[in-house]
Structure 1
Amino acid sequence: MTTRQHSDSSPASPWLSVLVPVYNVEPFLEECLLSVVAQIEDVAGVEVLVLNDCATDGSGELLQTLAQRWPGRLTLMQHERNQGLSAARNSMIEAARGEYLWFLDSDDKLLPGSISALESIAAAHAPDVVLCDFQVWRETSKWKHRLRGERHRSSFAGPARRVLSDRCEVLAAALMPGELHAWSKISKRALWGSDLRFPVGRYFEDMATMPLMMLRASTFYYADQPWVAYRQRSTSILATPNLGKALDQAHALVDFRAALQTSVACAGNEKVRLALAHQSARNFIGAMRYMNSVADGDPQKTQALQSIRQHFLASSPLSPEALCKAYAVRGWWLRKSKLQRWLKASEVA
């Protein structure tokens, strides 16, 4: 059950709902919410839903303090028990009233001007999905991080600043970079039917869900500017691997591949097939890198290796041989070599 503390001055018909799940992020929470509240002073029609997923630090108390400091700006929600990120987002989807939904993690922040930029795009074009770029946010940024392009990381490998209506081209251009996070894709609430929600109890939930959402959309707009500052933390999913995360990473695109096969327009599209196969291979390799650290005598290792390989085969529209050939044709020799290496490592006697 979810309880909701209404904001007395929340807009009657908001054009945007910003959805912020909260769990044990007290050191980062105020900065995150301030990055939103500061922007809606000048932009009307925005509701901010903040759900406390039974945080055990001081996040819940801080939320009450911030709600009093910014009267009418935050709508607080509360789970009766901790259910995880996916369930928190799902509860907020059910409660949201905005035409558009923007998911924001509570340790990240919106960059200045992002909401007004989104408002301009929505007013001028009303696309089903707006994609944006992001920057990697570190407490101490070094020159090497700038050289890696962390001040502006692209989430899309396609045309910018115009309406796109070729769903297949868009899916391919979103899959190739692999930046499939929820917070870089603002979507119309109408796309989120009752049969589309984040998978509860699984890691890599963004990757499992956002391509499915995009498969339902008809029009897209790519804003090639960083709107989100993504905080790099030592406790992130990728920074703290385990067996469950490895299995979920390998499985992340299995459902999307099944849904894609029912798409008349995109099921046979070669660009989409290659992009999905490539991202499936990246997931497979990421999972295998963790498995390489597991001792050979671990009783779970053999079964896990089999599952990870099966998930790769189930999510990729191309066979491993066909994908390696596609890499070779394009001169992507390093990608081919990496895939072959990890395929061999996944073989179980």
Structure 2
Amino acid sequence: MNWLSLLIPVYNVEPYLAQCLESVMEQAGEGVQVIVLDDCSTDGSWALMQSLAARWPGRLQLMQHAKNGGLSAARNTMIDAADGEYLWFLDSDDKLLPGSIGALQRIVRAHAPDVVLCDFSVWRERPRLKHALRGERHRRSFEGPSGQLLRDPAQLLAGMLATGQLHAWSKISRRALWPGLRFPAGRYFEDLMTMPQLATRAASFYHCAEPWVAYRQRGDSILATMNETKARDQAGALLPLAACQPLPLLQDARVQFAWAHQCARGFIGAMRYAERLGRSAPRARVQALADALRADFERASPLLPARLARAYLRRGWLLRWMKLRRWLKWRPE
């Protein structure tokens, strides 16, 4: 059995794919399975995959969907095909930074955690000083202790939710955690829906406070191309976690605040889209969307809005308090 499976979904990423796979194959040694799945790309991605596979004979496992199913479906297919003890999802327009797989292997050999979290850097084609000043060279994916094995699932979940960095590619997990858990096909913000559930299954974790992934900033991201469907998925992204409510760790005060705060962030982001929509769409349509977003927020959050607002004030988070109040009261003109 391989100790690691790297799972790379591909859809119309021909300009970026070679950089991604080169960053993996330069450091993927024995015991590392690399699966690359084409989700019916309409550009030259599939042909490029075949060409790149010839550069590393027998080292890339190529797959192809018969019809386009989206990112979640692609990842789910690869989970079923993986045989590694650990799973690492990598988007095909991003890349692994040098030494990442070796650093992961040292942690796995020394501590064997259920989940390993890594940090990341934002990768821009034309980085500027302002980007460096924003801390884009090193973004944390976890708020809490680093460099040690921890066995507190509530701390894992609260630390993930606190940063809001819930992407799948910064969490390497045991394949044994995935039975019965899959990414939601046909939904947006699928990582927010899935990774918190994964955290509830982990008995131990390790956070490495080093960037292992270079995340490419693109102009056609989900947030840059919002619509009503995406707004609903954003506001209700943590509804699957609410369905896990009987779990004792979800009653932890750290988890409840971080969870409610992340729900508020998603709600506010979705409401900003509703406000933009209100400049061109009928008022009744925008009002219906705003009402639905508020309802999704309240169903997903473990704390009622008024209680979360009081928690913000106790922490001195006046700006957060003001934003939450504004968007809870917002109505289209």
TM-score, normalised relative to structure 2: 0.98
Instruction: Count residues with an aligned counterpart.
Output: 331
Q: How does 1:277-296 map onto structure 2 within 5 Å?
A: 277-295=260-278
Q: How far off its partner does 1:70 sit?
A: 1.1
In the other structure, the counterpart of 1:262 is 246
Q: Which amino acid aligns with 1:137?
A: W
Q: How far off its partner does 1:241 sit?
A: 1.1
Cα distance in 1 for residues equivalent to 2:150 and 2:31: 26
In the other structure, the counterpart of 1:151 is 137
Cα distance in 1 for residues equivalent to 2:114 and 2:64: 29
* 2:177 equivalent to 1:191: yes
Q: Deviations over 1:19-74 (max 9, x none)?
A: 0000000000000000000002xx32001000000000000000000011111110
Q: Deviations over 1:122-162 (max 9, x none)?
A: 01110000000000000000000000000000010010010
* 2:110 equivalent to 1:124: yes
Q: How far off its partner does 1:77 sit?
A: 0.4
Q: How does 1:17-56 map onto structure 2 within 5 Å?
A: 17-40=5-28, 43-56=29-42
Residue identity over aligned pairs, in percent, reads 59
In the other structure, the counterpart of 2:306 is 321
Q: How far off its partner does 1:86 sit?
A: 0.3
The match for 1:339 among 315, 321, 324 is: 324
Return structure 1 stretches of 4+ with deviation > 6 angstroms: none
Cα distance in 2 for residues equivalent to 1:268 and 1:126: 27
In the other structure, the counterpart of 1:215 is 200
In the other structure, the counterpart of 1:182 is 168
Q: Which amino acid aligns with 1:262?
A: P
Cα distance in 2 for residues equivalent to 1:152 and 1:162: 19
Q: Which amino acid aligns with 1:33?
A: L
Q: How far off its partner does 1:299 sit?
A: 4.8
In the other structure, the counterpart of 1:141 is 127
Q: Which amino acid aligns with 2:265?
A: R
Where in structure 1 are there 5+ consecutive unaligned residues? 1-12
TM-score, normalised relative to structure 1: 0.93
Q: How far off its partner does 1:267 sit?
A: 2.8
Cα distance in 2 for residues equivalent to 1:108 and 1:285: 27
Q: Which amino acid aligns with 2:268?
A: I
In the other structure, the counterpart of 1:9 is none
Look up the SS of the partner of 2:223 in the other structure. coil
RMSD: 1.2
Q: Which amino acid aligns with 2:37?
A: L
